[in-house]
Structure 1
Amino acid sequence: MRVNLLGPIELVSADGVPVPVGAAKRRTVLAALALDLNRVVSGDRLLSLVWDDAPPPQAKAALQGHVAQLRKVLGDGVDLVTRAPGYVLVGDRSAVDVFRFEDLVDAARDAPDEVAVGHLRAALALWRGPVLADVPGDRLREAVSARLDEARLVAVQEMGTRLHRLDRSAEAVSVLAEAVAEHPLREPLVAALVLALHGGGRQAEALDVVRRTRERLADELGVDPGPELRDAFERVLAGDRRPVESVPAQLPREHRGFVGRTDELSDLDAGHDSAIHLLVGPAGVGKTALALRWAHRVAADFPDGQLFADLRGFDETEPLDPGTALVGFLRAFGVTDAQVAADLEGRAAQFRSLLADRRVLVLLDNARSASQVRPLLPGSGRCLVLVTSRHRLDDLVATEGATALAVPTLPEDSAVDLLAALLGRQRVDDEPDAVAELTALCDRLPLALRIAGARLASRPRWTIRSLVDELRDEQHRLALLSLPEAGRGVHAALAVSYRELPEGAARLFRTLGLHPGADLDSYTAAALLDINVVTARTHLRTLAYTNLLHETTPDRYARHDLVRLFTRQLVSVESEVDTKVARLLDYYVFVGDSARTHLSDHVRPFPPPEHVPASHPALDSHAAALEWFTVEEPNLRSALDVALAGGGLRRTWQLALCLDAFHFRRGDRLDRVTLCRIGAQAARRLGDAHGEATFLLRLGSTLADLGRVEEAVDECTRAAELAGGDRDLELAASANLGYCLMADGRLDEAQRWMTTALELSREVGDERSRVGVLNNLANLSLRRHAPEEALRHATEALGLVSAVAPSKAHTATLHTVGTASQQLGRLQVALASYREGLALAERLGDRYQEALCHRGIGDVLERLDDLAGARPHWLAALIRYRDLGLADADDLAGKLDPNLTAPVRNR
């Protein structure tokens, strides 16, 4: 069944029989839906179009009646479907004459003259009169008639030009004369008629047309003829009957609402002298839009033409063969089909020869590979080639000297501007928070933002927040960022790239759906797939080459959130999911345990996990361990969430203990409280008293540092009760309980527990624990205003640190020596000790001790009347105090001027 709109509205069955549509309003409903074929037209828009912006009260019911009647007569592949918030007419483009007309005109554009004439003749034959001739209202007709009438005139002019080039001037005159009679002041059309008359030997008539047109332009518009008509006149006078040599101008129009890309455009401008520019980036990032914007900007620099080819490297269909693209390019310069070489090499040579003395811009969009591009490269350095691709096409850089430019997602301000271009600035400015969240949910990807904007633009009564609420649902986000037409949207774009992957890379890409973090390295990928790290690295590089992942640092790869959601959909049908998740968690446990041996003062290694990774990073130093934890901390957090959700209690408390070791070293007290509670609960549910006590002790000392001393004493007391029989654990419990009691001001009780801990450290031969206990005794002496005694304990502790690796206890003891020396008036000794402690704390990444030492240095410098030197240290201390949530931050802030403390904020 076909719907005809180029004239009176007609509905024609598949066998060519007219089908009555009925009432005028019903014809308008059919026309409105057909013009938006396969796109939802809202009920409100239909009411506005059918009743010319003034629907009566009963219009909604009437509209429903017209829809019901249309459904009775539609069929043969054309269906009218209800789809919120309105209706959609579903069918093939060929079912509507408007789209058949447009497709025939498009097909003619790059076709040889003879074929093009056939397409254009068929397109123009579809017109039976004015567009929507029998639609009663003006609103719908005004919305489309100007555009379609213009397209018809362009087609008439093109057909006349093609006939003239085929030396069929009489036919050209008959086609053009009627159009010129209707539009006598349309100069390009008149110029085409003049040349056709001249080509047919009718020079007198041609000159008469020029004379009449010149007079009308002067009388009605007060202007002289433009360059096209003047050129046609001069050719008649000169007796030149040759067809005008075509200068191709094939660039598609620029994308509406193009925003930002200032840096990228500047980079392209700066490399203007380069012969080949390569724009690479993930699907939907806006490579084509950027290429078109820049190409139009510099088109004037290429007076011999601009060529364009969509190489369809990532379409559902096969990529465009370069030989076929070359035929189109050669035709654009007037080469006939008979002259085109038969093979690819011959056509490429013809193309290079043709462009040898020309300045031409060649835009190759959506290239799949370097081999697809190479035959389309001009041989002359005067030409410029602009290539876009999802693949990096490193071969073009290495062998052809191409300049590659990575196209990133939009910055936040440009993403907002893009939405404003689609929705209007006021609508965007009314909901800034919702807009910020929407851009984040769309990964600031132009394709996703345009689809989201289109959804909102067609629903003017929706708030931006309402769409954001829908997009928060990760299960449906990709579906919401797709267009009704098949093959359009983020999911479809990613699916094409995924389907082209080699099997190994595709398997890894699917399995990444099980990884909860935003990035990973090759060791993690190897653990997920249970393969060697070299193979994993190869697969990751393939995914980066196709821009499904991006390499953030050497051997580390990240993905956009929409890619993460896509992989989650892919992995949902995978087998052995639980085993793969277990391998991932065991990898993090295994490497995390290795790293914590360098960070913790007391380490009891975990037993080997169920899945020991075949490959893992070699963490053979404190610095390497700290760097690994710093990079992997977000992934370890996510892995802990996975373990909590079903990865096993043992893995839960082990991951929590690894993370706690890192946060202990970094001084993150608030994070430690959460981790210790998670670990203690998991150990308790496992019935692991040792594990529970370990976490309770860490929790107690952390709470004491935060000033929550009563809670701290309770947790450490419980840990001491669980520690019975384990001398190492009893030692830790005694030391921690003494520390917490000291923080609570219960100094006598604290000293008893510390003394017990000191005896146990000698008994079990734990020198590192002994250092810590002696330092605690020194601080206890300071609490009792006995700095000499404190210095004695601290000095004894320092005498032991040479026997153990650098530790937090060493740093803390240097701070204690500084404090005792300061109280004794030995300011230079105190300053030196604080500075040594600060250097060690910075080496260990211990921000808590960094804060204490900065504070100590500042206080000593104050006593030495060096306030200018003291303030930077106080400020550095204050930043860390507030960042760590420590109780003394307000006291320290009082030492600083308000203008110095203003930039310091809580995290």
Structure 2
Amino acid sequence: MRVNLLGPVELVSADGGAVRLGAAKRRTVLAALALELNRVVSGDRLLSLVWDGSPPPQAKAALQGHIAQLRKVLTGGVALITRAPGYALTGERDAVDVFRFEDLVAAARDAADEVAVGLLTSALALWRGPVLADVPGEAVREAVSARLEELRLVAVQDLATRLFRLGRAAEAVSGLRDAVAAHPLREALVARLVLALHRTGRQAEALELFHRTREQLVEELGVDPGPELREAYQAVLAGDTAPVPVEPRGHAPAQLPREHRGFVGREPELCDLAESLRGDSAIGLLVGPAGVGKTALALRWAHRVAADFPDGQLFVNLRGFDETEPLDPRTALIGFLRALGLTDSQIAADLETQAAQFRSLLAGRRVLVFLDNARSAEQVRPLLPGSAGCLVLVTSRHRLDDLVVTEGASALHVQTLPEDSAEDLLAALLGRHRIDQEPEAVAELVELCDRLPLALRIAGARLASRPRWTIQSLVDELRDEQHRLSALELPEAGRGVHAALAVSYRELPEGAARLLRRLGLHPGTDLDSYTAAALLDINVVSARTHLRTLAYANLLHESTPDRYSRHDLVRLFTHHLAAGESEVDTSAATRRLLDYYLWVADSARAHLSDHVRPFGPPEHRPASFPELPSHAAALDWFTLEEANLGLALETALTNREGERTWQLALCLDAFHFRRGNRLDRLALCRIGLSAARDLGDEHAQATFLLRLGSTLADLGRIEEAIDACTRAAELSGGDRHLELAALANLGYCLMADDRLDRAQETILEALEVAREVGDKRTQAGVQNNLADLLLRRRRPEEALRHATEALNLFQTAAPSKAHTATLHTVGSALQQLGRLEEALDSYRAGLALAERLGDRYQEALCHRAIGDALEQSESGEAAAPHWLTALLLYRGLRLSDADELARKLDSKALAG
């Protein structure tokens, strides 16, 4: 099966019959995938190409429908597969006429004239009209039509040259006449047609064509004919039929700057460039933040492949991010045209014509074009050659996605150096001996510089010019976050990390610039669009626009969908920006940030805790916030935002926001309680309790004392736990729910201290209060505690009855930690009764629920219990993996239970 794109889009079966494609958009989908044969096209890019950058809401469903229909008709070695993040059309290159055409033209370059004529004739015969003639999508057509048309014209020119050499000029006339009719000012074509007419005895036509073209050049471009066309004219006047036209090579510029001294690493990136820039008309786009080493990497690649471009290498710094204005593409083009041999009188005045002259001069040549520090796709596009033999390298701090979509550029996102390469860079600047003397200081210096080549080079330069300094002395200076950026500057040269970031910042639109300033108030390293919206007091749609602008400028990077992070040096730069804001604005933004986290954390807490009483509305209710409809969604949000919530708590504490402090602490405690993090809970309870005391809020104090008591009991600090629960009861102030919780916790603590008689009295009292207030969930938890107590007294049948009653009560409640604990208790009672298979079933049910809830402590308990039951049932080998999993979970929670279990595993290993 073949796909034809050189004309109307066709799908041709193995027997030569046309396959009906149907909808016009389906032809566009096929064309977009065929042009990227054997390469994945992301779903987003495909949507943009097919709907010309403006896909409607139903576009994704429509695209999936087109994909499904294409799969039904694609056979014979051509297949459409799904591969993240989109789709790929797979098959041999000759299955697509575009690639057959390119391969035939490439094969003709080094072939003998007779063979080349056959190859080029076959290549040109593949054209049935304009590229993608019936495709409605402008974006797809524009991405390839200019390049392929240029390659076709070069093939026509080369075919004429070969035919002249073989004495078959008459065969060239027809193809040249058609090409000149479509491109009357392309001098290389006109020159060949003049000679072809002359060689077939039509001198008058040849002279008339020359004069008509000269007049058009003067009238439309304001230039005289170039050397090649003038030479053809002179040949007609002289009646000279002997010379065979040779491809005009002109000058072979060699403008590449020298490589950076001390270039290290980057082999993966160089391999990526080698892979993505294979074939003709390749455009390599290297993007990344300021100082990451884009130019150095591009130069290394350019020097490595320069020999493959014998017709020269062109270089220009487009100054897209200098203190001055970016370089006008006209200025760059004039420089290129001069380098290629044109005089100023031959260079056209307007940009469009200059670009056409540039493409004409490079037609049939193999030239490398290096465009450094590009600001925009508009600045780059006039500087792109049309010749299939040319390679273009573009570097930019901006992503320039437009070049990827419309020109088919291959984007390489240049990241900071890996640790070993960063150390190698310092070694190249300072010498390996000096580096090896202070390995720990070197490792810290690398991280303080964010593994950013610019920062590392400045640090290395400072140390190189001060041979008596130790590396540790510079590390000590850079540890000071307030002065780290100034320490990574070269004041005399006006260069450094701060200066580079400042240029990028000044180029931002106002909304994005304001957000970058506000990010200096955010204590974490990453955030989502809802958080950004809270900082700016705007809606989330506008916040997303600003975040994407910052990511486009490589001041942020999108680590996951709608979540953005920043490098440490960018974080310090945002702190510098925030310091310049008014205190009123920064205080208001900080309170909005805290209230946003409180609002969402409180809604998430409702899914994780029993008897949640929502906080009152905050001072700044966020306009936009994520919906958390389920326990799983709440747990995922807490997991994602855990670090930021902890830092927000520190911010509230530092700013003496007492109520916000204890409320944030309570929300985080709910998460850590669910995850089983006892030590983190202990710290949070103390922070919350202290803030509540400072406010004189007895209800909040009682709430934290209850949580403190249960946490201390879990950690084996029973007397402190009993004291905390007793004080909580005293502060409950007639709140029966608080009193119930205090009694339940107190009974749990007494049981942990083996005061079983008093514990049983307290648990029964709690059970009576639970029934009185109609709290079935707490009643179930208390009954489970009673069952645990009965197990300690070796009364498993009574324990099983109470635990089973508790399970029945849990059936109508949302899944909870207490439910998991009850399944564990049922298993323990069954195990004591010798009903091991039933016990294992209950433990496994408890494990499944704990995993669903994300409760790592209960997971550890269930894994350990399963291991113990398997050992008792003489399945010792099956027990070990469960014990090992429990051990790892205990260690992750920093619990002493890990030591006891490790000793058990060691003894089993020695016995084995």
TM-score (norm 1): 0.72
How far apart, CA to CA, are the structure 1 residues paired with 2:774 and 2:808? Answer: 16
Give the drift of 1:894.
2.6
How far apart, CA to CA, are the structure 2 residues paired with 1:865 and 1:249? Answer: 79
Q: Does 1:704 align with 2:709?
A: no
Give the drift of 1:330.
1.2
**What residue in structure 2 maps to residue 525 of structure 1?**
532
SS at match of 1:874: helix
Preserved CA contact (<8 Å) 1:582 1:647: no
**What residue in structure 2 maps to residue 252 of structure 1?**
257
Preserved CA contact (<8 Å) 1:601 1:808: no
SS at match of 1:551: strand
1:687-698 map, 5 Å: 687-698=696-707
Match for residue 481 of structure 1 among 488, 492, 507: 488
1:636-647 map, 5 Å: 636-647=645-656
How far apart, CA to CA, are the structure 1 residues paired with 2:854 and 2:467? Answer: 53
1:33-44 map, 5 Å: none
**What residue in structure 2 maps to residue 763 of structure 1?**
772
- When residues 789 and 316 of structure 1 are mapped into structure 2, their CA distance, relative to the original with a 3 A threshold, is same
Q: Give the counterpart letter for 1:398 in structure 2.
A: V
Give the drift of 1:567.
1.0
Give the drift of 1:568.
1.1
**What residue in structure 2 maps to residue 555 of structure 1?**
562
**What residue in structure 2 maps to residue 605 of structure 1?**
614
Q: Give the counterpart letter for 2:342 in structure 1.
A: V
Match for residue 280 of structure 1 among 272, 287, 290: 287
**What residue in structure 1 maps to residue 515 of structure 2?**
508
1:111-150 map, 5 Å: none
- When residues 310 and 722 of structure 1 are mapped into structure 2, their CA distance, relative to the original with a 3 A threshold, is same
Preserved CA contact (<8 Å) 2:736 2:773: yes
Match for residue 896 of structure 2 among 864, 878, 887: 887
**What residue in structure 2 maps to residue 193 of structure 1?**
none
Q: Does 1:432 align with 2:433?
A: no
**What residue in structure 1 maps to residue 866 of structure 2?**
857
Per-residue displacement from partner, 1:756-789 (whole Å, max 9, x unpaired)?
1111111111111111111111111111121112
Q: Give the counterpart letter for 2:488 in structure 1.
A: L
How far apart, CA to CA, are the structure 1 residues paired with 2:775 and 2:909? Answer: 45
1:159-174 map, 5 Å: none
How far apart, CA to CA, are the structure 2 residues paired with 1:898 and 1:409? Answer: 47
1:217-232 map, 5 Å: none
How far apart, CA to CA, are the structure 2 residues paired with 1:433 and 1:720? Answer: 53
**What residue in structure 2 maps to residue 293 of structure 1?**
300
Give the drift of 1:366.
0.3
Give the drift of 1:887.
2.8
Give the drift of 1:536.
0.5
Give the drift of 1:681.
0.3
Give the drift of 1:696.
1.4
Per-residue displacement from partner, 1:691-736 (whole Å, max 9, x unpaired)?
1111111111111112222222222222222123111110111111
SS at match of 1:748: helix
How far apart, CA to CA, are the structure 2 residues paired with 1:860 and 1:520? Answer: 45
How far apart, CA to CA, are the structure 2 residues paired with 1:514 and 1:833? Answer: 49
How far apart, CA to CA, are the structure 2 residues paired with 1:338 and 1:898? Answer: 92
Q: Does 1:621 align with 2:637?
A: no
Q: Give the counterpart letter for 1:347 in structure 2.
A: Q
Give the drift of 1:245.
5.4
Match for residue 534 of structure 1 among 513, 518, 541: 541
SS at match of 2:349: coil
Match for residue 839 of structure 1 among 841, 845, 848: 848
Q: Does 1:742 align with 2:745?
A: no
Give the drift of 1:376.
0.4
How far apart, CA to CA, are the structure 1 residues paired with 2:614 and 2:745? Answer: 21
Give the drift of 1:751.
1.3
Give the drift of 1:883.
1.7
Q: Does 1:464 align with 2:471?
A: yes
SS at match of 2:482: coil
How far apart, CA to CA, are the structure 1 residues paired with 2:249 and 2:614? Answer: 84
Q: Does 1:373 align with 2:372?
A: no
- When residues 550 and 337 of structure 1 are mapped into structure 2, their CA distance, relative to the original with a 3 A threshold, is same
Q: Does 1:810 align with 2:828?
A: no
How far apart, CA to CA, are the structure 2 residues paired with 1:595 and 1:348? Answer: 58
Q: Give the counterpart letter for 1:430 in structure 2.
A: Q
Match for residue 454 of structure 2 among 432, 447, 459: 447
**What residue in structure 2 maps to residue 94 of structure 1?**
none
Preserved CA contact (<8 Å) 1:487 1:493: no
How far apart, CA to CA, are the structure 2 residues paired with 1:265 and 1:371? Answer: 27
Per-residue displacement from partner, 1:207-233 (whole Å, max 9, x unpaired)?
xxxxxxxxxxxxxxxxxxxxxxxxxxx
**What residue in structure 2 maps to residue 728 of structure 1?**
737
Per-residue displacement from partner, 1:606-660 (whole Å, max 9, x unpaired)?
1111110011000010011001000001100110010001151000000001111
Per-residue displacement from partner, 1:485-529 (whole Å, max 9, x unpaired)?
243000010111111111111111111111111011110111111
- When residues 896 and 631 of structure 1 are mapped into structure 2, their CA distance, relative to the original with a 3 A threshold, is same
How far apart, CA to CA, are the structure 2 residues paired with 1:365 and 1:418? Answer: 22
**What residue in structure 1 maps to residue 504 of structure 2?**
497
**What residue in structure 1 maps to residue 313 of structure 2?**
306
How far apart, CA to CA, are the structure 2 residues paired with 1:869 and 1:765? Answer: 44
How far apart, CA to CA, are the structure 2 residues paired with 1:808 and 1:708? Answer: 22
**What residue in structure 2 maps to residue 324 of structure 1?**
331
Match for residue 662 of structure 1 among 656, 671, 676: 671
**Structure 1 regions of 5+ residues with no counterpart?**
1-242, 902-907
How far apart, CA to CA, are the structure 1 residues paired with 2:816 and 2:903? Answer: 32
**What residue in structure 1 maps to residue 245 of structure 2?**
none
SS at match of 1:642: helix
**What residue in structure 2 maps to residue 714 of structure 1?**
723
SS at match of 1:285: coil
Match for residue 348 of structure 1 among 309, 332, 355: 355
Give the CA RMSD over aligned residues: 1.5
Q: How many residues align?
A: 659
Preserved CA contact (<8 Å) 2:294 2:414: yes
Give the drift of 1:897.
4.3
SS at match of 1:557: strand
How far apart, CA to CA, are the structure 2 residues paired with 1:414 and 1:647? Answer: 44
Q: Does 1:674 align with 2:683?
A: yes
**What residue in structure 2 maps to residue 388 of structure 1?**
395
SS at match of 1:852: helix
SS at match of 1:620: coil
Q: Give the counterpart letter for 1:268 in structure 2.
A: L
Give the drift of 1:869.
1.4
Give the drift of 1:890.
2.0
How far apart, CA to CA, are the structure 2 residues paired with 1:393 and 1:551? Answer: 16
How far apart, CA to CA, are the structure 2 residues paired with 1:746 and 1:453? Answer: 66
SS at match of 2:386: coil
Give the drift of 1:900.
8.2
Preserved CA contact (<8 Å) 1:522 1:536: yes
How far apart, CA to CA, are the structure 2 residues paired with 1:800 and 1:844? Answer: 19
Q: Give the counterpart letter for 1:755 in structure 2.
A: L
How far apart, CA to CA, are the structure 2 residues paired with 1:810 and 1:859? Answer: 21
Per-residue displacement from partner, 1:727-752 (whole Å, max 9, x unpaired)?
11101111111111111111112112
Q: Give the counterpart letter for 1:557 in structure 2.
A: Y
Preserved CA contact (<8 Å) 2:675 2:855: yes
How far apart, CA to CA, are the structure 1 residues paired with 2:723 and 2:397? Answer: 59
**Structure 2 regions of 5+ residues with no counterpart?**
1-247
Q: Does 1:418 align with 2:425?
A: yes
Preserved CA contact (<8 Å) 1:589 1:654: yes
Q: Does 1:651 align with 2:656?
A: no
Q: Does 1:751 align with 2:760?
A: yes
Preserved CA contact (<8 Å) 2:530 2:625: yes
SS at match of 2:520: helix
Per-residue displacement from partner, 1:857-902 (whole Å, max 9, x unpaired)?
111111222222111111000011122122322221133248989x
Q: Does 1:566 align with 2:591?
A: no
Q: Does 1:543 align with 2:550?
A: yes
How far apart, CA to CA, are the structure 2 residues paired with 1:548 and 1:899? Answer: 54
How far apart, CA to CA, are the structure 2 residues paired with 1:425 and 1:693? Answer: 61
**What residue in structure 2 maps to residue 589 of structure 1?**
598
Q: Give the counterpart letter for 1:303 in structure 2.
A: P
